[in-house]
Structure 1
């Protein structure tokens, strides 16, 4: 095991690409610090020219130029869509109950394996649970909570003083998705290789034309991995990328990652995987 096994993938939704500078500024700061450079933002080629494939940002350091493209890698491929559905459930439920349960701190718990996988059903489930919670609001406020053992089990209750210590809010409603442990054994990781390689090759091919007109620049592709497979490590993914032929128009491939500080804050970082310089 090496240091890269302790770097973490991203588990929530990728940030919006409406302003890529907000997404890539941290990378540029880290790059400048590591290489003693001073690249600064010059333009957004992708926004400036919609008629041809273009990278997201162009930077300059004197006469030196750099262009960057960011792509999101999800595994399994449905992961981001499934996580979007979870946010839909979360937001729908809170809209129904937030005003009624603002006097104390409450939590809804439901398992990720139990929630539906389409938007219509997940909204209906959120409203159904909210309706039941509201119907029994007095019982909930005067007792330990309510529990459902129906086809999709869930529970809603007041948090104890001990449980409140880890809550991000003091009063209101938290919605907790009880995530199943997703550790792949070696056989499962090996079985996943063809799918992972195919996705990465697709991202590389989609990115390559964006750099065709920038041979005078340092051309960087950043891959941002999102997954719930906890042991799909940066080290493992790096080895897969290094086994794939990188298009000649891409000079470097970096992986976006994060690490947890002692205070449990997650800090974004970047790891160079391939350099064709």
Structure 2
């Protein structure tokens, strides 16, 4: 009975405190008596703060930061340091080439073989052979050589050059000189032509032939333009143009269908040397209007 009266008294006092001061007593379910007083004993854990599960708690933030740092470190360790594979060094070393036949300074009087050696750290692709600036021929396999018949050139001294190329496009050259000296009986034939005797063709004067060799052409039909044209095959051409101002010499290669033009004046002469094989050519004179 005494406990019952105490409970009634406590409820009465609690209602007074709540109405006067806004005090709030613990839930009845969590209230117990201790030595005649009140002891607040929460029955649930709803007000406990579990910092291990709380993302907003200070400790949780610290843990999150440390975790992210450790993850980033782990990723960087797994990834390692990335470095691009360096590009291979460009090959700039030229090949080596040397003419081994004929000997430098040799005198030739007939068809001969020009031979050369060539080597490269990457490989040689081709070797070109020239007399002066005129291409004689090319070879792509060792031993490198071409056949040259100097009958088509006048007697004299000529520079022979071998030019080698490697797989990277680098090139190197080697030159010697030879003396062409045919006996008088076997000197090449020089064909003499006069422009005025060329065939007339729609206002042009034309001479066509498949006979390569040396042509001495007289310009005796006034001023104009002289054309040398390859009608078939490739032709190596050397021209000495004699005029009142002196002699001008040039050499070039004409592929099929190509031509070279030379401005000439009346009284000039052209010494034209043509060499090649299975070729046809035309000389064309276009008089000045």
Larger Rg: 2
Structure with higher strand content: 2
Bigger helix fraction: 1
Give the TM-score normalised by the residue count of structure 2: 0.21
- Give the structure, 1 or 2, with the largest relative contact order (CA under 8 Å, sep 6 or more): 1
